Amino acid sequence: MNLNNIHNVYFVGIGGIGMSAIARYFAANGKKVAGYDKTPSQITLDLESLGVQIHFEDAVKNIPISFLDTKKTLVVYTPAISKNHAELNYFLENDFTVLKRSDILGKITETTFCLAVAGTHGKTTTSAILGHIMATVNATSFLGGIAENYDSNLILGDDKVSVVEADEFDRSFLKLSPNIACVTSMDADHLDIYGDAEALNESFVAFTNKVKDTLIVAKGLPLKGLTYAINEDADYTAFNLKIESGQYIFDVKTPTSEIKNIEFHLPGQHNVMNALAALAMADVYGISLTDIKARLSTFKGVKRRFSYKIKTNDFVLIDDYAHHPTAINAVESSVREMYPKEKVLVVFQPHLFSRTKDFIDDFALALSKFDEVLLLDIYPAREEPIAGVNSEWLLNKITCKNKKLTKKNNLVKDIKNSSAKVVTMLGAGDVGVMINEVAEQLLKTVKYDL
């Protein structure tokens, strides 16, 4: 399939973070783009502002007539879409070219010099940092989050160099053709897909076998490649870490050089690791360390990755996508580093019944580190309920004494009733939308007035 011969691209699940980046890419390259999604969102609004036609009812009658030409239309879908989806089945049954999102990314990486970031945690922030650095050579970056510098999940450049997230979900990253790749982490996740951690690890090994030129891995992972670490002997090492005026300053040793006083604004040592991974990939590609240092100092972050919704002397509200115990631990560690003397409340919305079941004890351990816990119902996403798996089960395992179940309509009241000055709202479900209304309500009170 030659993408240049495609005139129309129709997306089933166009509002997804990965899907929408590809939709933006095709729209920017002169293709007619349309699609379906379950509900309107800021992402779909932004796409519509670019001229993309979107509807929210699964019905073949809603597909624009110009997209019903089998020879001119490419259909892209996300694995999160139900197998019973009427529009998707119509395309499948009528000889359209129908590809998964990962297949399209695979096609793009075949014809570009590709830098791919893999890992169960850290890949969105790392790829956004790398994309910001690689914008200096006009790379096109497909991101799994909204980069603050660009207010987009697509950094549009030319068709010679690409930066992509190598997503392990559904083994999607095995479709890619990376020249330079990084693996940030290999914690057990997506066990609803893989079955066990061993199968997940095997898929990472299969991914690394596809890397054409250079593999870079966090030190300690069971993979062979250039290593990176903080304050440890590795090919790329960050050391002399300091926090000054709310930002990190650190030095880096590379295999051939050293650079001092890198400034980086994101909190948490896990983000220093992400920056170090991006630095290593850009260095291997051939970007000068001086240019990398300059780009790191101007990187603003990724939305829903330790994003401040309210930040005053009296009250702080932080939004984060953390939905796995390892990510929750990273947020808690970052909060303690930035606000060591403050009481911290976490609002958590578990994501998926299967993930909650698989990691129930790890979730409980991570959440117990906070001073206070408010627990929302499990966000089901693509899943049906599992008997006995619910937020009450998780709450009973949390050892923090100040804990309770809450509902969306009680959340603002429960936060106001807390004495915590720092609140984190975590999860991959609609908590990311909910927080905007929560912030708006809290800002109306005198206590949190800016």
pLDDT tens digits, one per residue of 368-402: 999 999 999 999 987 899 999 999 999 999 999 99
Is residue 264 in a domain?
yes
Choosing from 297, 329, 355, the residue where a domain stops is 297
Give the number of other CB atoms < 10 A from CB of residue 213. 13
The CATH number linked to 283 is 3.40.1190.10
Domain that holds residue 422: 307-448
- Give residue 450's pLDDT: 39
Q: Considering the entire predicted model, what is its pTM?
A: 0.82
247 vs 392, residue with greater confidence = 392
Task: Choose the weakest-confidence range: 102-106, 139-143, 400-404.
Answer: 102-106
- Most trustworthy range by pLDDT among 51-60, 325-334, 437-446: 51-60
- Give residue 244's pLDDT: 83
Residues 153-191: tens digit of each pLDDT:
999 999 999 999 988 767 788 999 999 999 999 876 545
Is residue 280 in a domain?
yes
Residues 314 and 274 in one domain: no
In 349-431, beta strands by DSSP E? 372-375, 403-405, 422-426
Is residue 425 in a domain?
yes
The dihedrals phi and psi of 309, each to the nearest 5 degrees, come to -95, -30
Structure tokens at 187: 């914690």
In 73-112, beta strands by DSSP E? 73-77, 97-100
Choosing from 297, 316, 346, the residue where a domain stops is 297
Beta-strand pair 247-253/236-244: antiparallel
Whose tokens are 């109306």? That residue is 444
Given a contact cutoff of 8 angstroms between Cβ atoms, the answer to whether 345 and 415 are in contact is: yes
Residues 126 and 188 in one domain: yes
Q: What is the C-alpha to C-alpha distance for residues 87 and 218, in angstroms, rounded to an integer? A: 42
Percent of the chain with pLDDT over 70: 96
Residues 374 and 432 in one domain: yes
- Give residue 197's pLDDT: 67
- Give residue 435's pLDDT: 94
Which of 328, 437, 327, 428 lies closest to 380 in space, CA to CA? 428
Residues 246 and 336 in one domain: no
Residues 129 and 54 in one domain: no
Report how far Cα 15 is from the mean position of its chain's Cα atoms.
14
Averaged pLDDT for residues 311-321: 91
Per the structure, the count of domains in the chain is: 3
Residues 286 and 325 in one domain: no
| pLDDT band per the 50, 70, 90 thresholds, residue 208 | very high
Residues 166 and 288 in one domain: yes
Is residue 107 in a domain?
no
Averaged pLDDT for residues 3-17: 89
Q: What is the C-alpha to C-alpha distance for residues 443 and 334, in angstroms, rounded to an integer? A: 24
| pLDDT band per the 50, 70, 90 thresholds, residue 426 | very high
Residues 175 and 311 in one domain: no
DSSP state, 302? B
Q: Is the pLDDT of residue 194 over 80?
A: no
**Which residue(s) pair with 34 in the sheet?**
10, 53
Residues 334 and 220 in one domain: no
- State how far the alpha carbon of 335 is from the alpha carbons of 328, 342, 346, in Å: 11, 9, 11
Residues 148 and 281 in one domain: yes
Is residue 96 in a domain?
yes
The dihedrals phi and psi of 393, each to the nearest 5 degrees, come to -60, -45
Residues 75-100: tens digit of each pLDDT:
999 988 888 999 999 999 999 999 99
Average pLDDT along the chain: 92
Q: What is the C-alpha to C-alpha distance for residues 373 and 403, in angstroms, rounded to an integer? A: 5
**Which residue(s) pair with 230 in the sheet?**
238
Q: What is the C-alpha to C-alpha distance for residues 248 and 241, in angstroms, rounded to an integer? A: 7
Residues 6 or more apart in contact with residue 141 via CB below 8 angstroms: 127, 128, 130, 131, 134, 135, 154, 155, 157, 162, 163, 164
Residues 292 and 319 in one domain: no
Q: Is the pLDDT of residue 243 over 90?
A: no
Exposed, middle or buried, 84 (CB in 10 Å: 0-12/13-18/19+)?
A: exposed
Q: Mark residue 398 as left, alpha or beta (left: phi above 0; alpha: psi -120 to 50; beta: remaining).
A: beta
- Give residue 190's pLDDT: 47
Choosing from 271, 297, 323, the residue where a domain stops is 297
Residues 133 and 250 in one domain: yes
The CATH number linked to 94 is 3.40.50.720
Residues 6 or more apart in contact with residue 332 via CB below 8 angstroms: 344, 346, 366, 369, 370, 424
Averaged pLDDT for residues 66-83: 91
- Give residue 202's pLDDT: 86
Residues 220-240: tens digit of each pLDDT:
999 999 999 999 999 999 999
Is residue 191 in a domain?
yes
The SS3 call for residue 44 is: helix
Which of 113, 110, 94 lies closest to 102 in space, CA to CA? 110
Structure tokens at 290: 């001086």
Structure tokens at 229: 């670490």
The CATH number linked to 324 is 3.90.190.20
Alpha helix ranges (H) inside 244-401: 269-285, 289-297, 325-338, 353-358, 360-367, 391-397
